Every structure is written in C-alpha cells, then in structure tokens.
Structure 1
Amino acid sequence: MITSYALSASRNIFFKLFKQAYCKEAAPPKQSMLYDASLPFFNQRKQFSQQVTEIKSSDDGHSVTVLWDDGHKMKYPYIWLRDNCRCASCYDSPVATRKFLINDLDLDAKFKLSEQNAGELMFYGTEGHQTIIQSSWLRDKTFGTIDMGPVFDTKLWGADLLSYLPKFKYEDVLTDDEILYRWMQSVKIHGIALINDAPTHDDEELRNLTERIGHIRQTFYGVVFGVKSKKDTYFPGYTSAELPLHTDYTFGANTPGIINFHGLKRAPSGGKSMFVDGFKIANDLKASDPDAHRLLCTGVMSFGLVGFDCGRHFDNRGQSKIINLDKDGQVGKISFSQHARKDGIAKIPMEQVRSFYKAVQKFASVIYAPDNLLKFMIEEGDMVTVDNDRVLHGREKFQTDGSKERALHGAYFDHDEFESRLRILSKQFSKKHN
C-alpha cells in the first residue's frame, strides 16, 4: 500500500526532475510554493501568497486561470504569459524593453506547473523556460484590453460650463506639478481648461506653459502664432470677420491634438470666443437622428488651405469624416471646418448625397444651438486650452478703433506629448485626485 506521504514525496521529486530537465536556466527561489497543473490546488497548499490564492490550468494546458484573494479571477493564454516574462534574459528592466523576440516564442508550449515567492509568479511549461511575472503587474492586466494609461470619465457639457469649470492661476500651473496635473485633468475630462493671470509681455508665457507638457508642435503657422487682423490674408481668422466654429488643421493628416490660446489684447468691441463640445453634439445626434449620425460617421469630406506664411508657400490637403468613431464604436474625434471645406465627398452613394448634405447642415446648425454654445471673452492674461479632436472653437466678429488691435497667441502640441506627461504625473497624484 502506497501512503499519502509517499505520494507527496513522489510529486516533489517529479517537480524537481521536471525543472532540472526543462528549466535549467533559472533555479527556483527559496521558500517558494510549488503548484502542479494536473493536481487540485488545495492538496498542494503549504504557504499562501497574500495576493494569489489559486493557479490552475485548462485541460489542454494552453491557458491559465489565476485567482486573487479579493475574488478577482482572470484567464490568460499561456503563450501570452511566456511572451511577457520579466526575467533578466527576456526583459531589460532598467530601460523597460524586451529582449525576448516573438520569433522565438514556442506557439505549442503548454503550462505544466507554477510557484510563487515574494510577489513573483513563476510559470513552467513544455518549452523549458521559467517565466517570471510580478503578481501585482498581472493583477492589473485584463487579457483582451490595451492599457493606454489613466482613464478619466468624459463629462459632456453645454452653454453652462463656466458655472462649474475649474480655473487655474498661470503661476501655479507653471510651478506646481499637482496643479499642472489638475489642469491636465480638466482637458481630459471636459476637453477644455482655463488659466487666468498670465503675463502678456510676449510669446514666452505661452511657450513656457506649452513646454510644461512637452515640445511645441511647429506648423506652417510657425511655432507660436499670432492671431490678429492682417491685410491680404489667406485665413479668415486673421480678419475681423466672424470665424465660424471649427476644429483646426482639418487639411492635414497629422492633426495637432491640443491648442493653447493666450489673450494679449481684447478688441474694443466684439470678438467673444465660442466653444462647443463636439462629443456632446455627436452623442445628441445619435439619439435624436440616427440616420444623420450614421452618414456623418460614413461620409468623407475634403479640406484644404493654400497660402504663404513664415517665409514659404503651402498647399495643405486633408480628408476626414466629421464624426470619427474609435475601436469601441464611441466618438473619438470631430473634424469640421466650414472655411477649409473643399469639393470632395467620398464614401457616400450618389442616391444618398442629398441626405448627407442634410446631415452636415444639421450638424452645422446644432453646434450653434443656445444650449450647446459656450461664449465668453478671452481677456488679457487669460489662457484657454482645448482638445482639438473634441472641441470646436470660433470667434464673433469684432471692431477696432485704430488705437488698439485684438491680439491672441496660439501654440500646438500633440496628444502623444500630453498623454505621456499625464501618465508621469498620474503615478504621483492619481490616488489623491481620482
């Protein structure tokens, strides 16, 4: 008769021989706990991790289910675990880059056993490698999703936004990282953020603010561009006429993501700025007129701008849907400009052209509805930051008396720069402000 002690001893000998035969490149950590994929977990339980309470394999060994002590359970493909090994041979931790090449991944590898020690999970499979993964890292991973950093709940808004939108002091944003983080949160949540009390000497104030995030995006407008009345201009924003609501750079493939505006001089009469939440417009249209929404998500319009600026001629052209959906079917970008719209229309059958124009007209109308339109004066020393993929902006016409011209500075930077800076700050402040 074989005793339970003999069976247990036999299992331990099997695990030891398996690891010696197939996992020679790494020795097991001291005081670790060993699990066999073929045996019930509760029969192997000697020491218990504070985080992981159970690791078990699918019948074919191609997936692993991990259970944490808070009840969270997640299933992972074994080859995905192997691909994400964080041992020194597979991953260069100081620079957070892979050494392991996907070409070397054994697609037929199957999970056999595992152990854990001091927050590390070790997985062993038929490919003969000891896969090391931090349990805290794995706990935050949901297979099938892609982590792009901190997620903030988008808040749609209308004409009453100023009654609750936070305002920040220029010097605070420039010198205090926590205030900077809160200001960036406002851009993520509302698509717009406000700063007061900025100096109005020159373009250095706007450069300093933008460079708190990253590098300024230079375009044919220049690095920091001035918005004021000019003669013989190519752009209606450089006149005193009304500038219709629009998103910037619809005529380019690489659209600047964020715009910073800095008020230097206000016009003696008129010139209020206008802003609209394009995401709200898109969602309202989806609810009230699904056919119009569908056409605006389908039809492609052409945009362009031709002129001379910063010492060179340019001929910029672009194409886009007005409502662009992300991979989850949610609105991800608005692209619309009356003054830059050209003649090209694509992806709309001939028999639906009238319906498409009707949908565009409806969009162009509802953005001016009183409940949607936010309108205020950018005073001297004010700064307004908008997400160019979400918020349409424009300006009422204005008049000057010859002694005082309206002057506004602007600067772009890309979403990549913004998101990178936000991830860094989030590691320090997210628990305090989320």
Structure 2
Amino acid sequence: MWMSSFARLARPVLQRSASPMVCKALRSCHRMELPGAAPSFCITPVHVRSHQTLGSASLPVACHSVRHVRVVEEERLMVVEWEDGGQSLYPFTWLRDNCQCPVCTLQSAEARLLLLADLDIHTGVDSVEVTKDGKVSIVWPEKHMSVFDAEWLKKRCFSPAARQAMREELFLNERFYWDASLRIPRADFHEVLHDDGAALAWLLALRRVGIVHLKGAPAEQGQVARLAERIGYLRLTFYGHTWQVQDKSMANNVAYTSGKLSLHTDYPALHFAPGVQFLHCINQAEEGGESEVVDGFHMAEQLHREDPEAFRTLTSLRIDFTDTGTDYCDFMLQSKNRIIDVDSEGNICKINYNNATRDSVLDVPLHQVQPFYRALKAYVDIMNRPENVVTYTMEPGDIVTFDNWRLLHGRKSYVSRPDRLRHLEGAYLDWDEVMSRLRILRRNVHGDV
C-alpha cells in the first residue's frame, strides 16, 4: 500500500525533472511479486541487484480474515489459517510476550508493560479460538487471556515475504540507483513547509533517490533551520547547529576555502556521521563553484562487479579519520570507519569517505597498505568517471537536501567578488528523525498504514 502511495506522491515531484527512466521506475513501483512468479524488478536508470527488487515489499491492501486457528503443541506454535487459503505460524512465547491487554501493554504509549522477568518463555496454551468479531483469542495456563486483531497478526507474520514487507514499510530500504543522466528531483520550498503531501513526496524521494532540490527559499540565513523544523530538530556538531560555507582566512575546514573539493561524505571523523545534509545557496560565486554529486551506493556496486577484491578490502578494513580545530567549541576527533559499510546480508548501507580528513595514521598491517591504496583508488576512479557524476549550479534560494550516508558531493573551485562572497548555509539531521517524520506524514496523508 505504501509503495503505491509513494508512486502517487513522488511522481508529480519527480516527473517535473526526472529522467524518463526514473519516471518509469516510479510507474512500476506498485507492482507486486506473486508466489511462484518471476521476480518483478523496479527499473532504475542504471542497475538494481536482486536484493533490491521491490518484489514482495508490499502486502495486499485487502482486509485479512481468519478462517481457523489451531495449535501444534510439539512445535509450540499457533497456526492461523486465512480465508484466502494462506497460513501463518506464531510461536507461543512471542504471542505471550506481545499480549495487547491493558495489563501487558500501555496502549497510550504503545509500549510493553509485561516484564521479561515475568515471562515464561516455555509457556503452553490452554485454548485458542476465533471470536465472533474475527479476532484471535488465547487463554494461557495462568488463565490470562490475550486477544489479537487479525490485521495486527498478519502484518507480523514470520514468513520471509511478510518480514520483507514489514522491513520495507518501516525503513524504505529500496533505492533508485542513478548516474550522470539523472535530472535531480525538485520540489517547492514553501509547499514542503506547509503541505503534508508535498513534504511526504520530498522525504520519499530523498530516501529513494538520495537527493532533492527545493526551489524558492528566501536567499537569507535561517532557512535550513526552518526546513529542519518541518522534520524535528537539527543535529548539533562541532561546527554548530548550522554553519556558513564561505572562503575564510585561517579556515578550519577545507570547505571554507575557494579551492576544489573532491567527492566526499561529511564527517567520517565521527563514528556516527550525520545522515542527511541541507545546503542553502545565499550567494553564488562570480565564476565557478559548480556542485558535483555521485551515487556512492551505485559506485560501490560497480566496484563490486569490476573489482571484487577491492570491494572486499574497502568493506573490511577500518580506516582512521581525524578532525581538529575550534568552531562551536574545541574539538579533536578520531574515528575508525570502513570506506564502504555493508549490513549482515551484504547490502551496502553507508559510505564513509573524505580525503581531507583521512588520517596519516593508517592502522592496518603493513602487507595491507598497498592493497588498501589500490582499492581506494579504484573506487575513486569509478566515482570520477564523467558518466557517473551529476554537475549542477545552485542559484540563490536553492536548497539541496541529500543523503550523506549514500551520496558523495564535491565542488569546483570558484572566484568571488569581495563585495559578494559565495555563501552557502548548511545543516545536518539524522535519518532517525527524518524517517520518524516520514512515517508520521504517511500516516497523516494516507491513514494508518
């Protein structure tokens, strides 16, 4: 359901500026993979690996009705047979742990009251039945009763398809990969501030594509803070709640110079780098200063295909980063991060790379030094291929919002007039806050999904 909602909401935003292939991807987002059918892939401008298929990421919208319930004592499972012919299995322990009655759950906070110390993890079941209103009732050996709504149970089915659907509904992990052919999605700054549908489309596109331009903001400081209030709150860092990107004498960051910035993610010197970045153009340079972005996840996929050994190196070695100076307060940061982070299933989930703050300390065994440099150079070379880089010029009033865990961004060198210095204001948020607001907006626009 949420996937078709994304297609409806994001399509008007993306189609105004997206490439035909991205539009095709959005049109195909509502498709579902039926049991036994060939996988249905959501087409992207470039490439999608099989683990990123939308497939069973959406559950049918139809209301689910329970036909029959029974228990399998030796397996300690409750079996729910659905009217559509399917069935779901639920462990006794999980059911008792998640009793929804007022004694076991504080409904006003949707929080568990039942203490784990009081949970019998070897509990049996006295009886199960389908109530007249279609719910599932369980009586436990201590004569406590639990009643579960059918839809609540269906969404929490332990089948691989249902678990994948729930992951996708909660976290929206699917990504649309892109290269230099991408036309960056655009939205109106004031619409995003005042209209829930526009704000939802913005955040969905930000999550899926990784970058969205907001047009029409006032060309004055304070707008990134206004935009952040639409979500929740800003991430405070050693550079402040917001920071001014200008050419400064005795700069404490290479971004505060007029030279070229190579493609990078911000703040790998932190062990938990900010997830989302806002950059607002207040004044543009007289000459130069064009922005560059690449899809770091897609570039990592290319590296994986072209040079598996380099990919293994960058996903295994923890590299030192450092950042020292004075701004919001004094700071002396040290971190160890993998250049490419993958999750337990091997999916790329985060890029940590900034050549300026990569430390001269390289805490790896001597025999791995050269393989590390070779691997990093291979990754950077892929990123710098012209067919992979999107170049754009920000105008006063533009705000670019992007995924700092995924995109690498850079800037060409520039020349400014002394009376009109190039000036961008920046801010950070974390993905937890962004995803929280996205879920709330989705509920407000579409109801409880």
TM-score bin, normalised by smaller chain: 0.7 to 0.9
2:170 to 144, 149, 169: 149
Residues 343-358 of structure 1 correspond to what in structure 2 (within 5 A)? 343-346=360-363, 348-358=364-374
Closer, same or farther in 2 for the Cα pair 1:317/1:152, shift >3 Å? closer
1:90 pairs, out of 104, 114, 122, with 104
Change (3 A) 1:259 1:115: same
Matched, 1:218 2:233: no
- Scaled by the length of structure 2, the TM-score of the pair is 0.81
Q: Out of 124, 130, 138, which is 1:123 matched to?
A: 138
**AA in 2 matched with 1:188:** R
Tell me if the contact between 2:192 and 2:198 (Cα under 8 Å) persists in the aligned partners: yes
Correspondence list, 1:315-334, <5 A:
315-334=332-351
State the one-letter code of the partner of 1:321. Answer: R
Amino acid in structure 2 at the alignment position of 1:156: Y
Tell whether the 8 Å contact from 2:64 to 2:150 is kept in structure 1 after alignment: no
Structure 2 contact 66–135 (Cα < 8 Å) conserved: no
Mapped pair 1:381 → 2:397:
yes
Counterpart Cα distance in 1 of 2:416 and 2:336: 36
Give the alignment partner of residue 246 of structure 2, picking from 225, 228, 232.
228
Q: Any idea what SS the aligned residue of 2:360 has?
A: strand
Partner of 1:342: 359
Map 1:64-79; keep pairs closer than 5 Å.
64-79=78-93
CA contact (8 A) 1:262 1:410 kept: yes
What stretches of structure 2 of length at least 5 have no aligned partner? 1-62
Query: Cα 1:360–1:55, aligned 2, differ >3 Å: closer, same or farther?
Result: same
Residue of structure 1 equivalent to 2:330: 313
CA displacement at 1:57 relative to structure 2: 1.6
- Alignment-mate amino acid for residue 196 of structure 1: K
CA contact (8 A) 2:105 2:111 kept: yes
Q: What amino acid is the match of 2:355?
A: Q
- Answering whether residue 263 of structure 2 is matched by residue 245 of structure 1, we say yes
Q: Give the Å deviation of 1:256.
A: 1.0
Amino acid at match of 1:233: A
Q: Deviations over 1:194-248 (max 9, x none)?
A: 1111111222x22111110011111111111110100011211000000111111
The separation in 1 between residues aligned to 2:215 and 2:344, in whole angstroms, is: 37
Give the root-mean-square deviation of aligned CA atoms: 2.0
Q: In structure 1, what is the Cα distance between the partners aligned to 2:376 and 2:64?
A: 57
Find the aligned partners of 2:344 and 2:291 in 1 and give their Cα distance. 33
- Give me the whole-angstrom Cα distance separating, in 2, the residues matched to 1:285 and 1:292: 7
Which runs of at least 4 in structure 1 moved beyond 4 Å after TM superposition? Answer: 144-148
Instruction: Judge conservation of contact 1:299–1:345 (CA < 8 Å) in 2.
Output: no
Alignment partner, residue 185 of structure 1: 204
Identity %: 33
Mind listing any 5+ residue stretches in structure 1 that lack a counterpart? 1-48
Residues 57 and 65 in structure 1, CA contact (< 8 A), matched pair in contact too: yes
Query: Secondary structure in 1 aligned to 2:428?
Result: strand
CA apart distance, 1:279: 0.5
Is residue 2:194 matched to residue 1:175?
yes
State the distance in 1 between where 2:212 and 2:260 align: 23
In structure 2, C-alpha distance between the alignment counterparts of 1:393 and 1:61, rounded to whole Å: 53
Contact 1:111–1:125 (Cα < 8 Å) also in 2? yes
Kindly state the Cα deviation for residue 98 of structure 1 after the two structures are TM-superposed.
1.1
Contact 1:242–1:395 (CA under 8 A) maintained in structure 2: yes
- Tell me if structure 2 keeps the 8 A contact 1:274–1:375: yes
C-alpha spacing 1:371/1:221, structure 2 compared with 1 (3 Å)? same
CA contact (8 A) 1:230 1:238 kept: yes
SS of the residue aligned with 1:95? coil
The 3-state SS of whatever aligns with 2:303 is helix
Distance 1:158 1:108, change over 3 A: same
Give the letter aligned to residue 379 of structure 1. E
In structure 2, relative to structure 1, the CA distance for the partners of 1:194 and 1:95 (3 Å cut) is same
Equivalent position of 2:288 in the other structure: 270
Match of 2:299 among 271, 275, 281: 281
Residue 420 of structure 1 corresponds to: 436
Partner of 1:52: 66
Deviation at 1:119, TM superposition (A): 4.0
In the other structure, the counterpart of 1:401 is 417
CA 1:286–1:430 in structure 2 vs 1: closer, same or farther (change >3 Å)?
A: farther
The superposition leaves residues 241-270 of structure 1 with CA deviations (integer Å, 9 ceiling, x where unpaired) of 001111111111231111001011110100
Partners of 1:64 and 1:227 in 2: CA distance: 59
- Larger of the two Rg values belongs to structure: 1
Letter of the aligned partner of 2:221 in structure 1? D
1:136 match: 151
Quick one: which amino acid aligns to residue 92 of structure 1? L
Amino acid at match of 1:407: H
- Whether contact under 8 Å (1:64, 1:111) holds in the other structure is no
Distance in 2 between residues matched to 1:243 and 1:387, nearest whole Å: 18
Change (3 A) 1:134 1:345: farther
SS, match of residue 244 in structure 1:
strand
What displacement does 1:64 show? 1.4
Counterpart residue number, 1:46: none
- Offset of 1:430 from its aligned partner? 5.4
Name the structure 1 match of 2:227. 209
User: Partner of 1:160 in structure 2?
Assistant: 181
The normalised TM-score by structure 1 is: 0.83
* Structure 2 counterpart of 1:6: none
